[in-house]
Amino acid sequence: MNANAERTSGDASPAPAVPSDRASPRGWYTVILLGVVSMLSFVDRGVMALFVQPMKRDFHLSDTEVSLLLGLAFTLPYVVVGFPMARFIDRGNRRSLIAGCLAVWSFATAICGVAQNYWTLFVCRFVTGGAESVNTSGSLSMIADCVPREKMPRAFAIQSAGVAGGAALSLLIGGVLYGLLADIPPTRVPVIGVIHNWQLVFMIVGIPGLMAALLMALTVPEPHRKGGTKPGGYTLREVFHFVVTLRSLHWPLLSGMLLLAVMTSGFSAWMPAFYERTYGWGPEKVGPLLGAISLVTSITGLLAGARLAEWLGKRRNDANLRVGFLAHLISQPLLIIMPLMPSPWLALACGGLAGVISVMGAPGFSAALQITTPNEMRAQVNVMYAASITAIGGTLGPTLVGLLSDFVARSEGDLRYVLVALKILFGPLAVYMIWKSLKPYGAIYRERIDAER
């Protein structure tokens, strides 16, 4: 970023209108299907959190061992596979890569249904994490080429709705299926071994992904790369240099998102266990409730956030990130008091309201990242954020909660206080770091728009 851009105050000056092509129906179809793929991704990765207590009981695990399944087993391969695959995404056929990896992670999820021990589950989660690392970076890169810039928040709201919907449906569908299968006793299957009722859920949720992979391979075209100037893509060294050059934006933004990821992953991984330990609600009850509330609140918040970002974008250059800053600033107090509520219904109410507000910033964040990054570099920058957030936040959050629960808390019932401590430790600093990214983003946005005129 040049010196003039550094001095530009991008906070309040209106962004100039730049003509753009309308998105085609096929472009919106691609966006919607990528949202479905993201939904399936989060169903497969999130359903395991619903079965913390059954897994502990049937496989004789500690909270720390469970936290490694929820965190490290998924996040480590996400990083190991994600970075080299991003290079292929930036220069190859994104559609085929996403479809192939969707088939792989869906199959690995189904195999969890026949696991006979902790390490088999660990390997299945490892494969799932590695395959899913392609989805986020590839999907964001494709969407940016399917719609015009001013419609990006709306398109990314659809993709983020898939993410939120998947996280919600993992609880909703998982809880309903577990309730329907509750009376099925452990069954010994020849050659395989004993299959528990909760394992049948993994088999069922893995099947739709295989069908969606075929649909994507047959019906989604590879979009033309808009503004592409380097067909061979950028090397990792060039990407690193680019990020360092824009460190005034990326350092505070990435730091803030990492801190949020620690809290979000810690909360989501242990939320079913929190309701069971604190209020006595089992997976068959808390799963559908949490899933249904999360589905409604997340989609509501995402659509409202996209509209707000588009409206504010006509008035402020930093609109995409400012919506996220305000959303997290307002939602933090609700998330802190939620685990302390005297009844499960009040806890659900606090969590639901916080859910509407906190997700409003997601579409703008995704749009901001694509707008400020060259086309053939987007997947690698996306995976830098996604893998870092998933690896550090997705590992540290669940593991930190598990360790504090095992070695600091006096009993399993004190999990609620561990969750409160997690929010107090990381929440305020996360909001501050996002606020620090507003001014540099506004300046870079103005510079990009001026370059297109």
Give the model's confidence band at 1: pLDDT under 50 very low, under 70 low, under 90 confident, else very high. Answer: very low
**Residue pLDDT, tens place only, 184-201:** 888 888 888 888 888 898
Give the model's confidence band at 12: pLDDT under 50 very low, under 70 low, under 90 confident, else very high. Answer: very low
pLDDT at 77 over 50: yes
**Residue pLDDT, tens place only, 329-365:** 999 999 999 999 999 999 999 999 998 999 898 888 8
226 CB-near residues (< 8 Å, 6+ apart): 144, 145, 375
CB 379 within 8 A of CB 86: yes
CB 11 within 8 A of CB 438: yes
pLDDT of res. 402: 82
Can you read off the two tokens belonging to residue 232? 């061979």
pLDDT at 11 over 70: no
Percent of the chain past pLDDT 90, that is, above it, reads 22
**Residue pLDDT, tens place only, 230-275:** 666 677 788 888 888 999 999 999 999 999 988 888 888 788 888 9
pLDDT at 13 over 80: no
pLDDT of res. 431: 94
pLDDT of res. 403: 86
> Of 278 and 87, which is predicted with more confidence?
278
CA atoms of 380 and 377, how far apart (whole Å): 6
**Residue pLDDT, tens place only, 145-185:** 888 877 888 888 888 888 878 877 887 888 888 888 878 88
CA atoms of 42 and 20, how far apart (whole Å): 33
CA atoms of 11 and 33, how far apart (whole Å): 35
Burial 258-273 (b: 16+ CB within 10 A, else e): bbbbbbbbbbbbbbbb
**Residue pLDDT, tens place only, 297-315:** 888 998 898 889 889 888 8
CATH superfamily of 23-223+232-452: MFS general substrate transporter like domains (1.20.1250.20)
pLDDT of res. 74: 84
> Of 126 and 12, which is predicted with more confidence?
126
Q: Of the segments 31-35, 43-47, 226-230, 281-285, which one has the largest average pLDDT value?
A: 31-35
Can you read off the two tokens belonging to residue 302? 């995402």
Calculate the alpha carbon distances from 241 to 235, 245, 246, 248, 374 in Å: 10, 6, 9, 13, 13
pLDDT of res. 63: 81
pLDDT of res. 440: 92
Which segment of 5-9, 66-70, 276-280, 400-404 scores lowest on mean pLDDT?
5-9
pLDDT of res. 232: 64
Could you tell me the residue ranges of all domains in the chain?
23-223+232-452
Which segment of 53-57, 123-127, 320-324 scores lowest on mean pLDDT?
53-57
Pairing of strands 193-195, 187-189: antiparallel
Give the model's confidence band at 76: pLDDT under 50 very low, under 70 low, under 90 confident, else very high. Answer: confident
Q: Find the length of the chain.
A: 453
Neighbour tally for 101: CB within 10 Å: 22
Q: What would the mean pLDDT of 48-73 be, rounded to a whole number?
A: 84
Q: What would the mean pLDDT of 31-60 be, rounded to a whole number?
A: 86
Calculate the alpha carbon distances from 315 to 92, 149, 250, 312 in Å: 37, 16, 23, 5
CA atoms of 190 and 94, how far apart (whole Å): 41
CA dihedral 97, 98, 104, 106 (to 10 degrees): -170
> Of 131 and 70, which is predicted with more confidence?
131
